[in-house]
Amino acid sequence: MNNHTKININNVNLSIGKQHILKNINVEIPEKKITVILGPSGCGKTTLLKCLNRLTDSYEDINVSGNIFINNKDILKSNGDITELRKKMGLLSQRPYPLPMSIYDNVAYGLKISGRKKKRFLNKRVEHYLKQASLWEETYDRLKEPASSLSIGQQQRLCLARGLAVDPEIILADEPTSALDPLSSQAIEEKFIHLKQYYTIVLVTHILRQAKRIADNIVFMYLGEVIEQGPAESFFNNPKMEKTKAYLSGAFN
């Protein structure tokens, strides 16, 4: 494992009931790069992503084996504070789910939860992260309005801001543009390219073109298995596996 590997997924198997969803997953995710998990729908991309911050804990009849090392610590084995683990990762889901509170409180939520309640500190942080998510210009005069009053593209940027506000090291994004219009999608993609200098980004998508646009590193999954992984350039220009070639040529989706 070299110095630049942020997340190391080692022999992970996951099943829910009798369904074997992830099969022998071995993946290395480099630090401060955009790693795209690519694959057709239902191949286990999202489940793999949820393993990383252990949102899978709340599933019934789930069985996970293997190791996931983050900063050289096995998060599957640790019985420590799971909220600490989750705080290291910002999650962006398929559709934005703003918390049922004001724009301001959405961003301040994570900070308040971890006990940082000083008004001046919060004001500064909220402004900082809204700017980082390119939302400040549109919202600075309506911070007290409910988050649900924003457009869906704005909501997704708000979700990004609130995720960044807990000061994560990793951003997990599960098809974050699938509910957005082209312009909003572009805004999010540009944001990711900008943010990768500070964060390790793991993005799940089934949109090939999106992967081409922003990926540094690709993990291609099919039916619960990792077929091929590596730097984006060699993946797209010089795929090694037959399945990858077929997928890239559009033989299946």
Partner 1 sequence: MSIKPGRNIRNRFHNIWMLICILLIVLMPVILAFGLYFKASLLLSDNSVFSLLFSKDWQPSKQNFGFYSFILSSLWITILSLAICAPVCLLSAIYLTQYARSNVLKLMHPVIDILAGIPSVIYGVWGIIVIVPLIANHIAPLFDVETSGYTIIAGAIVLAIMIIPFVLNILIEVFNTIPEQLTEASLSLGASKWETIKFVLFRKAFPGIISAFGLGLSRAFGETIAVLMVVGNVVKVPKGIFQPGYPLPALIANNYGEMMSIPMYDSALMMAALILFVVVLLFNFASRFAITRFELRI
Report DSSP letters for 210-231, one per residue.
Answer: HHHHH-SEEEEEETTEEEEEEE
**Could you say whether residue 224 binds partner 1 (CB under 8 A)?**
no
Distance between CA atoms of residues 26 and 17, nearest Å:
22
Binding segment for partner 1 (CB under 8 A), chosen from 5-13, 88-96, 123-131, 220-228, is 88-96
Q: Which x/- pattern, by CB under 8 A, does the window 114-143 give for partner 1? A: x-----------------------------
- Using alpha carbons, list the distances in angstroms from residue 41 to 3, 17, 84, 128, 163: 33, 20, 31, 36, 25
Distance between CA atoms of residues 202 and 221, nearest Å:
14
**Could you say whether residue 46 binds partner 1 (CB under 8 A)?**
no
Longest Cα–Cα distance of the chain, Å, equals 57
> Based on CB atoms, which residue is closest to partner 1, 21 or 227?
21
- Residues 92/158, Cβ–Cβ less than 8 Å: no
Taking CB under 8 A as the criterion, the residue among 126, 143, 159, 202 binding partner 1 is 159
Least Cβ distance, residue 144 to partner 1 (angstroms): 10
> Based on CB atoms, which residue is closest to partner 1, 161 or 218?
161
Taking CB under 8 A as the criterion, the residue among 13, 93, 134, 178 binding partner 1 is 93
DSSP letter assigned to residue 55? G
- Residues 88/171, Cβ–Cβ less than 8 Å: no
> Based on CB atoms, which residue is closest to partner 1, 11 or 148?
148
> Based on CB atoms, which residue is closest to partner 1, 113 or 246?
113
Taking CB under 8 A as the criterion, the residue among 18, 19, 41, 60 binding partner 1 is 60
**Could you say whether residue 162 binds partner 1 (CB under 8 A)?**
yes
How many Cβ atoms are within 10 Å of 112's Cβ, its own excluded? 11
How many Cβ atoms are within 10 Å of 4's Cβ, its own excluded? 12
Please name the residues in contact with 249: beta carbons below 8 A apart, sequence gap of 6 or more. none
**Could you say whether residue 53 binds partner 1 (CB under 8 A)?**
yes
Taking CB under 8 A as the criterion, the residue among 24, 101, 116, 151 binding partner 1 is 101
User: Which residues are at the interface with partner 1 (CB under 8 A)?
Assistant: 50, 53, 55, 58, 60, 83-84, 86-87, 89-91, 93-95, 97, 99-101, 109-110, 113-114, 146, 148, 159, 162-163, 166, 172
